[in-house]
Amino acid sequence: MKILLDENFPKAARNFLESMGHEVLDIRGTPLEGSTDAVLFDFAQAENATILSTDKDFFHTLPLFHPEHCGIIVVSLSQPSGGALLKALESNWPLIISEDIRGKTFLIMDRRVLVRRGENQDG
């Protein structure tokens, strides 16, 4: 799987994801750094990449307007330290990759995970 690592997600996630065999696109230090959510979403779709972010707009807003996408994973914790974000990602990774992620949006929180499926979002 190809994953677009948003600039707000800890860099350490790259090592974890690559160790799991995934290709990681990190926008830090590129012209995309600081881009709007819509620009990042379009870039991820063009690259056939799943978005990994802490920005809840990727869960609440963009998938409603674009139900067909390459997958979105948002980690939103009450105390979002780098270590806590990475631990939440690692512990929920088996759930995320247990099925095809295309069209699905995951919101990983402190005590639960919400999943939104694209085919049911527009009606």
CA–CA separation, 69 vs 44, rounded Å? Answer: 9
pLDDT in tens, the chain (123 residues): 999 999 989 999 999 999 999 999 999 999 999 999 889 999 999 999 999 999 998 888 776 677 788 999 999 999 999 999 999 999 999 999 987 899 999 999 999 999 988 754 433
Sign of CA dihedral 92, 95, 99, 103: negative
CA–CA separation, 82 vs 109, rounded Å? Answer: 14
Torsion of CA 107, 113, 114, 119, to 10 degrees: 90
CATH for the stretch 2-120: 3.40.50
User: What is the biggest distance separating any 2 CA atoms in the chain, rounded to whole angstroms?
Assistant: 39
